[in-house]
Amino acid sequence: MKLPNENKLLRVLPSDTKMRLLPQLKRIALPLGQVLYEAGQHIDNVYFPIDSIVSLLYVLEDGSSAEISVVGNEGLVGIAVFMGGESTPNRAIVQSAGDAYKLPASVLRSEFNNNQSIRALLLRYTQTLIAQMAQTAVCNRHHSIDQQLCRWLLLSLDRLATNNLTMTQELIANMLGVRREGVTEAAGKLQKLGVINYKRGHITVTNREKLEELCCECYAVVKSETDRLEAYLPQ
């Protein structure tokens, strides 16, 4: 059976660990908008995205939400299972459709508790995720919607094989925790500058270099931390 190498964390696991996990890993499709778990819900499975992207959102009592981080093929969804919790205060929802590997939470927890190399790897990844969450909070508080949209687009592109995203302005607004009108205006500016093409829920980034120029420093901080993780991973 083919070893699961499409996810970067799974790819660098020792061969004996991969063989132990292989019977428990299940490749599944994650459609756009699917909720993997709600805030406070017991986490039964963790997910290793392949070509999908999952957003972690905080949802307020009035139903409004804001994205705190994104997870793609560089990581996993469900760190609470090995960080001492059975649940998490955020919602996990599929931002970009694709596939992922699903693994029972109990299996990953056992590997974490009994395998020092895996524990070090997962803690290193958790550090990058926390850094992304912290930078996102700063960005949402201090930077314009235009800059937030640029950051969000760049983080998404880093986790996809193409420059095309399928996402409505309403969903982007929910991710950023802003009004839809603000996203419409920001996307319109980027389109006039020739940075993106937007039509009926499909966004194509046509000038990534310009997109990075327009972005605030938050994207570079997050990418630097992710690159540090990848440099640490065995090749």
Question: In this predicted model, what pLDDT tens digit does every residue of 173-199 receive, in sequence order?
Answer: 777 878 888 888 998 899 999 999 988
Q: If one looks up domain 8-115 in CATH, what number appears? A: 2.60.120.10
Q: How far apart are CA 4 and CA 50, in angstroms?
A: 9
Question: Would the CATH topology of 8-115 be identical to that of 144-215?
Answer: no
Reported for 58-62, long-range contacts at CB under 8 A and 24+ positions apart, including other chains, are 58/89, 58/90, 58/91, 59/90, 59/91
Could you state, in order of their start, the residue ranges of all structural domains in the chain? 8-115, 144-215
Cβ-based neighbour number of residue 127 at 10 Å: 13
b/e for 193-228, b at 16 or more Cβ within 10 A? Answer: eebbebeeeebebeeeebbbebbbebbebbeebbee
Digit-coded pLDDT (tens) for 73-132: 999 999 999 988 777 888 999 999 999 999 999 999 999 999 998 998 999 999 999 999
The confidence score (pLDDT) of residue 200 equals: 78
Q: Which two tokens stand for residue 145?
A: 């919607």
Hey, what CATH topology would domain 144-215 get?
A: Arc Repressor Mutant, subunit A (1.10.10)
pLDDT in tens, 3-13: 688 999 999 88
Per residue in 5-53, pLDDT tens?
899 999 988 888 888 899 999 999 999 989 999 988 999 999 999 999 9
User: 172-184 burial, b if ≥16 CB within 10 A, otherwise e?
Assistant: bbbbbbbeeebbe
Output the pTM of the full model: 0.89
